Structure 1
Amino acid sequence: MSDNDAILSLDDVTISFGSGLVLKGIDLTVNRGEIIGYIGPNGAGKSTTLKIILGLINEYQGTVNVFGEDISSGNDSYKHKIGYVPENAELYDNLTANEYLTFSGELYGMESTKAASKAERLMREFGLEDVLHSKISSFSKGMRQKVLLISSLLHDPELLFLDEPLSGLDANSVIIIKEMLEALAAKGKTIFYSSHIMEVVEKISNRIVLLADGRIIADGSFEELRKQSKEGSLEQIFNQLTGFDSHQETAKTLVQIISEEA
């Protein structure tokens, strides 16, 4: 793809909290229609990266361009073309799903009746038509996650950020989401996908970016990463590149401790 296809770019992005650097010079360009698997150990800086791009954290150094515009300019109109599912989201439990989704659509500039109609149709496809007018406080984890996904997609975003989006979903729903994301990418949507579930990242991403200790240490397709590391699965590649090679020994030690007589 050419530079004109770039939807998102980070140039030497650095941020520190307290005395510690969290991101240490991130350089990344994401092109239209890509599904980026953004992975890394806990504390590597994945969620921080997303929050910077989304304008939720401003105290960074470097340059972040979204849709060709530097987000530090103060113009946040780019957010209307973005969808976001955070890892830990607080929903308005006292609202019904219909009320919450209509409200979300309005925040993105949708007309209320159109937002409500589209939300109803999406809820039906996710098997939630019977609880459209029920309060979210009565929803299971999986049902709440589906509402979050619908909320992120309702306004037909050009750029979608998903942070552990499959949390709590059943196997059938996971398959549907994977197929849907591939179809959205085929339509030119760009998807930034962060998860610890390596099997899903491996299958769904056409490009994988591995972050460790605040730096990008690998960037390429799954096949390219596999050739570089000589490993079979993304989980094995992940363990090799991040230097995590003690998992089997740790597991054995844990079992030994658990098996000790009380």
Structure 2
Amino acid sequence: MDAAPPAAVGICGLWKRFGQQVAVAGVDLEIPAGSFFGLVGPNGAGKTTTLSMATGLLRPDHGTVLVHGADVWRDPVAVKAGIGILPEGLRMFERLSGRELLQYGGRLRGLPAAEVDRRADELLRVLGLDGAGGRLVADYSTGMRKKVGLAAALLHNPRVLFLDEPFEGVDPVSAQTVRGVLKRYAASGGTVVLSSHVMELVEQLCDRVAVMNAGRVVARGPLDEVRGGRSLHEAFLDLVGARDDGAGASLGWLGARPGDAR
């Protein structure tokens, strides 16, 4: 019997500490090739730290990450050639135009100039940036930066795409465009690993999900299995232990004005 092909991403025993603060505490995840995988959790849960370690941007204290069987830290060149990354707080070359940014990234990855130009023009058009391709990135809005960052991550046709809060600051029209591009990428066999706070978005896009809280994975698996007959939002609140803390009852003064009837 033939061995099963390796998962697109295999994360085993991942730990990261910053001083006395444990950011990620023994995360294990297996992300099947061709899946659209959502990583969700409250602020400070360790999502961004996990993705940073999974993509070689941050060295873990312990643990391993394999991308299509290659170790992120032992074989970084091979891994980074096959992944695309849209990190949170993406920094770009401000004095390049959007088209120049894509041309630079494509040539840096060894693509022929003519092919880079063809792909860059197509990505700019599909993402609604064709009219802004000649403008400096410094003049781009937050949403435009997200879209050109996504274009840069897709330009070399990676096998795995890592996205950290890709819809933050993106208007609804642009978000719809980005969703369409990501769905097409996943349908063609690519693997998407997406971190987001927007549960409705994860439900619309993802077929598998992991919920993180306090540096640990508290649930993982197919979307319907994790939801358990509820919305993902409801399941998420239960999984991370979010409850009404009675703050409304203790803020009776809020909004009250002198002379208001009591």
Q: Same fold (TM over 0.5)?
A: yes
Same amino acid, percent of matched pairs:
34
Where 1:104 maps in the other structure, the secondary structure is helix
Indicate the residue corresponding to 2:235 in structure 1: 237
Indicate the residue corresponding to 1:169 in structure 2: 170
- Considering fraction of residues, name the structure with more helix: 1
Deviation at 1:252, TM superposition (A): 6.9
Structure 1 CA distance for aligned equivalents of residues 43 and 122 of structure 2: 37
Q: Is the 8 A contact 2:12 2:27 kept in 1?
A: yes
Deviation at 1:182, TM superposition (A): 2.2
Q: Is the 8 A contact 1:80 1:109 kept in 2?
A: no
Structure 1 CA distance for aligned equivalents of residues 124 and 207 of structure 2: 28
Indicate the residue corresponding to 1:200 in structure 2: 201
State how 1:26-65 maps to structure 2 within 5 Å: 26-65=27-66
State how 1:202-217 maps to structure 2 within 5 Å: 202-217=203-218
RMSD: 2.0
Whether 2:262 is the aligned partner of 1:261: answer: no
Where 1:57 maps in the other structure, the secondary structure is coil
Tell me: CA distance 1:106–1:253, structure 2 relative to 1, closer, same or farther (3 Å): farther
Deviation at 1:148, TM superposition (A): 0.8
Indicate the residue corresponding to 2:132 in structure 1: 131
Structure 2 CA distance for aligned equivalents of residues 11 and 59 of structure 1: 11
Structure 2 CA distance for aligned equivalents of residues 252 and 108 of structure 1: 58
Q: What TM-score, normalized by structure 2, do the two folds share?
A: 0.90
Where 1:73 maps in the other structure, the secondary structure is coil
Structure 1 CA distance for aligned equivalents of residues 249 and 224 of structure 2: 31
- Counting matched residue pairs gives 256
Indicate the residue corresponding to 1:93 in structure 2: 94
Which consecutive unaligned segments of at least 5 residues does structure 2 have?
none
Q: Is the 8 A contact 1:97 1:133 kept in 2?
A: yes
Deviation by residue 1:75-124 (Cα, 9 ceiling, x = unmatched): 42210111111111112221111111111112222223321221112112
Structure 1 CA distance for aligned equivalents of residues 53 and 118 of structure 2: 32
Which consecutive unaligned segments of at least 5 residues does structure 1 have?
none
Q: Is the 8 A contact 2:98 2:132 kept in 1?
A: yes
Q: Is the 8 A contact 1:103 1:112 kept in 2?
A: no
Deviation at 1:159, TM superposition (A): 0.2
